[in-house]
Each structure stands twice: as C-alpha cells, then as structure tokens.
A and B are shown apart, each in its own frame.
Chain A
Amino acid sequence: MAWFARKEKGIVTPTELKKETPDGLWFKTPGGAIIQKRELENNCFVCPEDGYHVRIGSKEYYEIIFDDNKFTELDENMSSGDPLSFKDTKAYPDRIKASQNKTGLKDAVRSAVGKVNGHDLVVSCMDFSFIGGSMGSVVGEKIARAIDYARENKIPFMMISKSGGARMMEAGFSLMQMAKTSAKLALLAEDKIPYISLLTDPTTGGVTASYAMLGDFNISEPGALIGFAGPRVIRETIGKDLPEGFQSSEFVLDHGFLDFIVDRRELKQRLTEIITMLK
C-alpha cells in the first residue's frame, strides 16, 4: 500500500495554518432540518425551512424586540440569598454561583425598559439556562419591581416566561413569589395599563399558575410546551400515554387560554399593533 505511505513523519502543518471547522456552525432542528447558525441568528432563531423556534434567552429577545437593541436594564445587580441554608446534593449558594459562572447571568430573569418601534415598553424576560428558569425570590422581586416601574411611568408591561416552575431551594419563599407577582399585576390592572404575557417553550408549574396566565393578552410561540403539571407527572398520575400535541401552545390556544400564537419573526410587529391600538 505504498501510495498511502507518509513521506514525512508526524504532523507538519504549523498551527496557524490549520483549517478548522468551528464548533456549532450548524444547527439541526428536531424535525431534521439543518441550518447554518449565522442564518438562524439572522432569522430570529427560527429555522426558515420548518419554522422551528429555537429556545433563546433574554439577550436574544431584547435584540429582537427593542429598537437598535437599545434598552436600560432594571435591577441589574440583584442576586439570590439563601434564606433557608438549603442543601440537597449541593448547597444552594454553590448552585447559584455555578449557574452564574456558566451563564454570565445573575438569575433567571432580566428586566429592561426600551422602545419598540418607538413605543415605550417594560419587559421582564426569563432565562431557562439559569437553573431551568426557576422562580425564586430574585425572579419574583425583579418582576414585581418591573411592574412598579411600568405603573409609575404608565408604560405597558410585557412578560416573557420560560420556566420549569418554582425554585424548590427557596421553598415557601418561592411559593410566595406567585402571590407577590399576582398582587402587583392586580394593581397594574387597576391602573388599566396593558399587560402582554408571552409564554415560550417551556412554561410550566408555578409560573403558569401565576403571572404567565394573567395577561390581558396571553400569547405564545408555535410549538411551545405550556402547562401547570409537567407531562411526566400527568402520565404517572393517570397511568396513560398523553395524546399527540398535548400541552402544546396550539392545544392551549384551542382550549381557550391563549389569544394567539405568533411567529417570532412577527413578534415585534404584533406587539407594536397592540400597543398602538390601546393608546
């Protein structure tokens, strides 16, 4: 097999001349469509081929929603305490620190105020990458203050939910965030300031059972999982397989709990329409 024989031993290409394919240049959707990452980014993280909405975080949503990606972040430096000295397989503060280091985020929600096609909007957006977007004191408090800000300045409020539910490590404290955020929304409603709730994949548990479902407008993205109990828990409870499409945003719309489903590429336009109509 002489024609395969190396003429010289070892690798001789110098490092700077190496031609590498960078990691993550391509993305494959669950439906099997393959798309270039850069193309995905330019398309609001929606696959043009099959319309799959990739899970994104607050950074991406703010880029999509706010004019020129300009906004002022609210309560930027708030982070979690450890009121119960909670420890399971890992101490809670260690979990927080690890998540902060991994994600570069302080907690599972960021609040901001900015302009959407020239209209003011206060937005709180959850980040699923931070402990599953779980709701603890920081999430509740930041949302509560964002609503206060919306009330003080008479600006519509938008919530982008993406969460597995309450944060167990804050036990009773996290439960009461459902009450706190709902109380603030009751005040916002009294002031007749519009509240748009966008439920994204996934929105479950205590988040569904509080602020996510309380919008004047409950809207969602295609194919998002929305529910109170998680699919696994329901399957175990009823001992049966769940029907196709159960708890998808289309299912929830069909049962009357959403106003409409919006393609992420049209989100900004639809927001603008609602805000304008109510002025």
Chain B
Amino acid sequence: MDLEFEKPIVDLQDKLQDMKTLATDTGSGEDMAQAIKSLEDRIQTMKQDLYTNLTGWQRVLLSRHADRPQTLDYVENMCDTFVELHGDRSVRDDKAMVGGFGTIDDQTFMFIGQQKGVNTKMRQLRNFGMANPEGYRKALRLMKLAEKFNKPIVTLIDTMGAYPGLEAEERGQGEAIARNIKEMFMLKVPVICIIIGEGASGGALGIGVGDRVLMLENSWYSVISPESCSSILWRSWDHKEEAAEALNLTAENMHGNGLVDGIVREPLGGAHRNKEEMYSTVKETILSTMKELNAVSAEDRIMQRIDKFSAMGVVEE
C-alpha cells in the first residue's frame, strides 16, 4: 500500500515496469537498457530526496502504515526463543500490551510493548494498541520479574495513547501510568526504550523511562497526537499537518531537543519496505546499547537515568 505523497515515485515505477515489459516483448532490451538505467537512477534519487525530507505529518503517516512491523514482529524475528507471559495478576490479561522473556545471541531480555494488531479482527482484540490500566500493571509486573532475575528490559513503544474508556478510569488509568513512570526510574537492570511507531503521550511514557530512549526514523513521540492538538488549539481537525510541525514530534526533532537519546535508521521508504533489514538493525542496536549500559554499575545507571530526565525542560530565571 502506497501513501498519497509517494505517488510521484509510484508513477515512475509503473513507467519503469512498462518499459521493462516493452523491452522484453519487443526483444529490444539492449536498445532500451540505457533508458531503463537512467529511469532507475532517477527513481533512486527521487526516493532519497523524498524520504530524507519528509514533513512531520508524512512521518506520522508512515508510523501508522498498515504494513509497519509491530512489537510481536520484532520479538519473533529478533529472538531465538521467546516465551510470552500474560496477565497483571489482578484484573485480566490486556492484549494491547504484550511481553515476555526472549533471547538474542544467548542473552535473555524482557521485551514489553504495545501491539496494535495486524488485521481488523486482531486490531479489535488488541484494542488498537491502546492499553487499559491492567496493561500498564502487567508491564510493571514483567519489569519487576526481569529485575528479580537480573535481566535487562527492552520496551517497544507503539500506541495512539492509553485507552480513554469508562473502565480504564474506574481502574485508575492515571495511577497505573504514574506508578510505572516512578518505578521505572528505580529499576536496577538496564532499560532500553524504542519508539517503533506512535509514541502518544502518557500512554507511551508509561513504558518509556529508560537508560536509552531511541526512536525509529519514521516514528513520532509527543504529548498529544497532531489530530487532537489541532482539534483543541484550532478547534478543528483540519490543521493536523500544521500541528505535526508545531509539535516537533519527529525523531530528528526530539533528538535535536535532547528529549530522546538516539535515532535508529529505517530502510529507505520506511520499516515496512524491508522488514528483515529493520529487524536486524534493531537487534544490532539493542546489542550494542547493552554493551554500553553493562559497563555502568546499577546505582550509577539509576542516577544517570534520573539526572537525564531531570534536566529536560526550558525555563527562564
């Protein structure tokens, strides 16, 4: 599935396909080789141009792409073994928040993340990746489990937000997120957080306090979605593109403002264009980041984690 802003490239690719077909059909391959080559080059340049200069809103669209890899895709493709664990031991198992122990190169990690669902039926089951309080409590239970057995934690963040529902309020959505944020600061094991798609507000931060917080190139992370921001500040959804710019929500923006620690590059055109490459990049990133974090003592890691977040903000005195 291609997005609206990718149409110029798609048109050229169609043209290229036509040329190739023509070349085969007429047997004039050699005559056309030159033209085909130059068109291929043109497409490549165009792609480079387009995908390195995407607007905030275009990246938001990519972050929501239906084929974009989700938490369980990463876990299943990066890990040699993965044991999914369920439930918060109190209310029920929140299917919008998944987690479990997994191994990469003989190292065991606790993976936790939102899962949006891959088709309509699954999306409903997973509540579109919008967790209820029991999801955040499940996440915290798994983090404490990892801490108990001294295993590092990797969270994969991909959510439009914590679910704003009636039962979510009854069961204390605010308290659940607040507790996670506070408890994550005190975890003795290394914590790596990666925003793989959407990082909306408290729903993202509820599993987003880490020694390293990284963003995939085409993910977004902010206090509110551009649509909601537009509807509140401009009183209509029509200003979502302006809102996306104003919110400075891209990986580049957030890294530039010192609010995340790094950017993970995606294959040209987005994670869904070459999933294998994406999985392997994320896997390598986790392993190399772990090496850095293991070099620091638990106490120092906690203090550095606290100091890093404490320094965020701009005030005048």
A258 vs chain B, min Cβ distance (A): 10
Asked whether A26 is an interface residue with its Cβ less than 8 Å from the other chain, the reply is no
* Given contacts A177-B313, A183-B309, A238-B166, A212 and B257 within 8 Å (CB-CB): no
Asked whether B105 is an interface residue with its Cβ less than 8 Å from the other chain, the reply is no
Across the A-B interface, how many residue pairs have beta carbons closer than 8 Å? Answer: 192
* Given contacts A88-B233, A172-B257, A234-B169, A228 and B314 within 8 Å (CB-CB): no
Chain A residues with CB below 8 A from B166, complex form? 234, 238, 240, 242, 246
Asked whether B247 is an interface residue with its Cβ less than 8 Å from the other chain, the reply is yes
By beta carbon, the residue of chain A nearest B311 is A180
A228 vs chain B, min Cβ distance (A): 4
By beta carbon, the residue of chain B nearest A86 is B246
Asked whether A29 is an interface residue with its Cβ less than 8 Å from the other chain, the reply is no
Asked whether A128 is an interface residue with its Cβ less than 8 Å from the other chain, the reply is no
Contact assessment for A77 and B317 in the assembled complex, using a CB-CB cutoff below 8 Å: yes
Contact assessment for B310 and A87 in the assembled complex, using a CB-CB cutoff below 8 Å: no
Contact assessment for B185 and A137 in the assembled complex, using a CB-CB cutoff below 8 Å: no
CA A174 to CA B229, docked complex, whole Å: 14
Asked whether B5 is an interface residue with its Cβ less than 8 Å from the other chain, the reply is no
Interface size class on chain B is 35 or more
Contact assessment for A168 and B178 in the assembled complex, using a CB-CB cutoff below 8 Å: no
Contact assessment for A209 and B222 in the assembled complex, using a CB-CB cutoff below 8 Å: no
Contacting residues of chain B (211-252) with chain A, CB-CB under 8 angstroms: 221-224, 229, 232-234, 239, 242-243, 246-249
CA A132 to CA B249, docked complex, whole Å: 23
Asked whether B37 is an interface residue with its Cβ less than 8 Å from the other chain, the reply is no
Contact assessment for B201 and A206 in the assembled complex, using a CB-CB cutoff below 8 Å: yes
* Given contacts A178-B202, A179-B209, A183-B185, A213 and B164 within 8 Å (CB-CB): no
Chain B residues with CB below 8 A from A166, complex form? 201, 223-224
Contact assessment for A171 and B222 in the assembled complex, using a CB-CB cutoff below 8 Å: yes
Instruction: Choose one: B172, B182, B247; the contact of A182 (CB below 8 Å).
Output: B182
Q: Point out which of B170, B239, B310 has the most chain A C-beta atoms below 10 A from its C-beta.
A: B310
Asked whether B205 is an interface residue with its Cβ less than 8 Å from the other chain, the reply is yes
Contact assessment for B314 and A257 in the assembled complex, using a CB-CB cutoff below 8 Å: no
Asked whether B174 is an interface residue with its Cβ less than 8 Å from the other chain, the reply is yes
Contact assessment for A186 and B168 in the assembled complex, using a CB-CB cutoff below 8 Å: no
Contact assessment for B310 and A210 in the assembled complex, using a CB-CB cutoff below 8 Å: no
Asked whether B1 is an interface residue with its Cβ less than 8 Å from the other chain, the reply is no
Contact assessment for B313 and A180 in the assembled complex, using a CB-CB cutoff below 8 Å: yes
Q: Which of A41-49, A51-59, A61-69, A138-146 contacts B (4 or more CB under 8 A)?
A: A138-146
Contact assessment for A168 and B314 in the assembled complex, using a CB-CB cutoff below 8 Å: no
Instruction: Choose one: B162, B179, B259, B306; the contact of A173 (CB below 8 Å).
Output: B259
Contact assessment for A209 and B177 in the assembled complex, using a CB-CB cutoff below 8 Å: yes
Q: List 7 A-B contacts (CB under 8 A).
A: A80-B315, A86-B246, A137-B315, A168-B233, A175-B201, A183-B306, A229-B168
